[in-house]
Amino acid sequence: MIILNKAGKVVFFKVGQLSKAEIDQVIQVIKKNL
């Protein structure tokens, strides 16, 4: 999974299954970069 911000910078990168904590982190990163 790769999450980019509006400028195209990678703000999160993970290969494989996400843990519950990582899912929570991804949600926060997405909210912060909307």
Tens digit of each residue's pLDDT (9 = 90 or more) over 1-34: 999 999 999 999 999 999 999 999 999 999 998 8
pLDDT of residue 15: 97
pLDDT of residue 34: 86
pLDDT of residue 13: 96
**How is residue 21 written in tokens?**
């904590």
pLDDT of residue 7: 95
Q: How many CA atoms are closer than 13 Å to the CA of 3, on its beta-carbon side? A: 15
pLDDT of residue 18: 95
Domain around 24: 2-32
Domain count for the chain: 1
Q: State the chain's maximal CA–CA distance in angstroms.
A: 27
Q: How far is Cα 26 from Cα 13, in angstroms, rounded to an integer? A: 9
